[in-house]
Amino acid sequence: MAFDTIIKNGTIVTAADVFVADIGIEAGKIIAMGTQLGPAPEMIDATGLLVMPGGIDSHVHLAQPSPPGIVMADDFETGTRSAAVGGNTMVLPFCLQQRGQSLREALLDYGRKADQACHVDVAMHLIVTDPTPQVLGQELPALIAEGYTSIKIFMTYDDMKLNDREILQVLDVARRHKALVMVHAEGYDAIQFLTEHLESEGKTAPYYHGRSRPVAVEREATHRAISLAEIVDTPVMIVHVSNRQSMDEIKRARERGLPVFGETCPQYLVLTEQDMRRDGMEGAKYVCSPPPRDSESQHACWEGLQQGIFEVVSSDHSPFRYDDVAGKLAPAGRRSFRYVPNGIPGVAARMPILFSEGVVKGRIDLNRFVALTSTNHAKRYGLYPKKGTIAIGSDADIVLWDAGRRVTITHDLLKDGCDYTPYEGLDVTGWPVRTILRGKTIAENGDVSSDPLGEVVTRTHKA
Ligand code: URP
Ligand code: ZN
Ligand code: ZN
Ligand code: ZN
């Protein structure tokens, strides 16, 4: 057999196995696994390293239009550059339909932004904010058939929220055309009520962001989202789950046989609401929704990962610069937490944090790490087995991982377009040393290839 690249002597980890073998790659695909393969023009020595499927981060926001005056810190180039540095070979960003816009227009915009810019492969989810008869009746069914098989909806945010009737309408289209709806589950009215109350008491610092969205706000919306999905009889993914009570809603639904899936994120595993208490506006660096909770919530999220209640860990990378009037220090945000842009960067830190806090600390094993960071994302979003595993016929999307390397996370390591990381100073053990996309090295020891080799991957529609 002729190969253009061979990865030699590494310990291969998939969601099911751990074994030592060489990997033979030809034209971007894995075509052989065994011992004594080769030679090939490019020989990559993986002695002493783990060889895992490249990370797939199925929840990132890149170049997403934001409220007036606010600009997201990453475009497709910088966001995917950071993803590659963090061991990822694919991300699934969101195409946000702005109200009054058609989904096709929104996709054209994003297509232009992503074109020739991506360092890793991408596939877009849709965000529906304006479910007009045209969107529900024509655009969505057509786009689902073209492979846009996942749709995010919001239960909060002024310019994005759907009411229950609209949610049911979107869920119904998803059921009929076989798409998966991802739900941002926080209750709008309760957040408005609490925000006004806090502001009337002068409680406007970033810390009160968390107080305006307590666990009950998320739990209630999670319960409602699951109920609406049950009424329509269609699967849902509850994204960015932060706490035990919301997790228990998912658990109960699954015990009743409902196809309800869960995602959690590193911020709910290692940050708490105390981070939002930092001096002055520093707390704004940690403002995201749902907000980080407390150590018992962290513990619950780990249990959810161990028990399979959560099937994916995503970053929810949603970067806004800190020292910037178009970011976390927007003038209005100094008046009240309600105007601080929601979201934190994390696409590069996701895998190191889960590896260090999960595998190294004995909370999850290596196979589960691969499932949570890659395989399950590929399966759930229609990319498997092309993506998400190391197997003959799969794309050669691979991360070489030094399981013993100790690193203190600092922003400069992450190569994103932001100016801070919420994980600054976190010590981790285990680090990606080389990221390989379809057989080509795209990042090595923190340096990213100048050539963006990422492609837009079309998902095939199952119906
Ligand atoms: O605060 C967050 N999570 N911002 C990103 C958008 C979203 O809701 O996922
Ligand atoms: Zn269909
Ligand atoms: Zn969300
Ligand atoms: Zn998000």
Q: Is the CB of 289 under 6 A from ligand 1?
A: yes
Whether residue 309 is contained in a domain is answered as: yes
Amino acid at 451: D
- Give the number of other CB atoms < 10 A from CB of residue 315: 31
pLDDT in tens, 200-222: 999 999 999 999 999 999 999 99
- For every residue of 201-212, DSSP letters joined together read TT--STHHHHHT
Whether residue 421 is contained in a domain is answered as: no
For residue 337, the domain's CATH number is: 3.20.20.140
Cα(272)–Cα(301) distance, integer angstroms: 12
Into how many domains does the chain fold? Answer: 1
User: Which residues does 414 contact at the CB level (< 8 Å), separation at least 6?
Assistant: 82, 85, 86, 345, 348, 349, 421
Cα(18)–Cα(12) distance, integer angstroms: 6
Report whether pLDDT(346) > 70: yes
What is the CA(39)–ligand 1 centre distance, in A?
47
Ligand 1: residue of 154, 188, 289 to mutate (most ligand atoms within 8 A of CB) is: 289
Whether residue 305 is contained in a domain is answered as: yes
Q: What is the mean pLDDT of the chain?
A: 98
Phi, psi of 8 (to 5 degrees): -105, 140
Whether residue 317 is contained in a domain is answered as: yes
Q: Is the CB of 242 under 6 A from ligand 1?
A: no
Whether residue 34 is contained in a domain is answered as: no
pLDDT at 222: 99
Whether residue 407 is contained in a domain is answered as: no
Q: What is the ipTM of this complex?
A: 0.94
163 by Cβ neighbours in 10 Å (0-12 / 13-18 / 19+) ranks as exposed
Instruction: Identify which of 411, 393, 443 has the alpha carbon closest to the alpha carbon of residue 344.
Output: 411
Report whether pLDDT(45) > 70: yes
Contact 132, 102 (CB under 8 A): no
Cα(200)–Cα(195) distance, integer angstroms: 9
Whether residue 327 is contained in a domain is answered as: yes
What is the CA(61)–ligand 4 centre distance, in A?
6
pLDDT in tens, 239-272: 999 999 999 999 999 999 999 999 999 999 999 9
Amino acid at 169: Q
Which protein residues have their CB within 5 A of the ion that is ligand 2? Answer: 145, 177, 463
Tell me the pairing of strands 427-437 and 440-444. antiparallel
| Token pair in block for residue 227 | 């109920």
Nearest ligand to the CA atom of 237: 3
Instruction: Report the Cα–Cα distance between both ends of the chain, in Å, rounded.
Output: 37
Amino acid at 395: D
pLDDT in tens, 75-127: 999 999 999 999 999 999 999 999 999 999 999 999 999 999 999 999 999 99
Whether residue 411 is contained in a domain is answered as: no
Cite the beta strand spans of 136-276 per DSSP E. Answer: 150-154, 180-184, 236-238, 260-264
pLDDT at 1: 86
Q: Is the CB of 119 under 6 A from ligand 1?
A: no
The model's confidence at residue 460, banded by pLDDT at 50, 70 and 90, is: confident
Ligand 1: residue of 159, 318, 339, 340 to mutate (most ligand atoms within 8 A of CB) is: 318
What is the CA(313)–ligand 3 centre distance, in A?
14
Q: What range defines the domain where residue 348 resides?
A: 54-360
